[in-house]
Amino acid sequence: MKVKDILRQYGLIISYEFFPPKRPEDERIFWETVERLSYWNPDFVSVTYGAGGSTHDKSLEIAAKLRKIGYNVVAHLTCVSSTKEKIKETLNILKSKNIENILALRGDIPNDPSFKFPEDGFRYAYQLVEFIHKNNGFCVGVAGYPEGHPEAPSLEKDVEYLKLKVEKGADFVVTQLFFKNEYYFNFLELAGSKGIHVPIIPGILPITSYNQIVRFTQLCGATIPKELMEIVERFKDSPEDLRKAGIEYTVKQCAELLEKGVRFLHFYTLNRSPATETILRELNIAPQRH
């Protein structure tokens, strides 16, 4: 089922992001995570695609397996290091596996001074969106950045770029993680003022450790609000207490989103189930929602 049709359904939409496991032990944990989180009947799941397509084959394998066992799958696809021919080949494989949804991303530019974009490729995500939209009949999602993309000169300019992606065929938006709901609601308002009217799904990262918060804020440029910083400072030397307080913070964040009428929650699971399970139970999310 296409995500754009799923999002039109009545009730709360729950989805998860997974990444392809690298080692046999990781794969065992991955499928255990999928099984445990299946209790909530996710409306769709997404599978990431490593930087520069580094996990290409494994991403396709995992996406195909998830689709085969009944999940609505969103396959991430980056264009930064790929030719049009390679992208077309990947799209054909996805189509053959009955995967109808793509999250179209530029991807991170390699940290290599000699890197050059492929001549027969794309520099920007909007070009990839247009290519997919014109050629393959997929439902296309794109990324949104409530605090602005790290490379964008301003949030307003970044939202204007998001509008271009929507104009080229994007059907929905999944946001980067954020720790303060004000950023998400401001982003929604700004997007609406620019004429963006596709669904914008909030991306939620369950907070579980000090190192995790530091790593993700550095990677994504997300701001740590005062309330969360106080939790981090108070419990940084007590991992279990920080985990409990971090999950409680995420529960409050999700509860506020739901109270204010948000119908979508997309969880960055990091291929682990306990934190997301706890959050869903604390929120009293029912397995049957539609």
Q: For tokens 């301003």, what's the residue?
A: 154
Beta 44-47 vs 13-18: how paired, if at all? parallel
**Bridge partners (DSSP) listed for residue 175:** 144
Q: One of 17, 130, 147, 277 is an active-site residue; which one?
A: 17
250 token code pair:
């995420």
Nearest to 266 by CA among 89, 6, 14, 94: 14
> Do 148 and 154 form a contact (C-beta atoms < 8 A)?
yes
> Do 290 and 10 form a contact (C-beta atoms < 8 A)?
yes
Alpha-carbon distance 166 to 129, whole Å? 8
Rounded to 5 degrees, φ, ψ at 44 are: -160, 160
Q: Biggest alpha carbon distance in the chain?
A: 53
Our answer to whether residue 156 is catalytic in this structure is no
**Which residues are annotated as catalytic?**
17
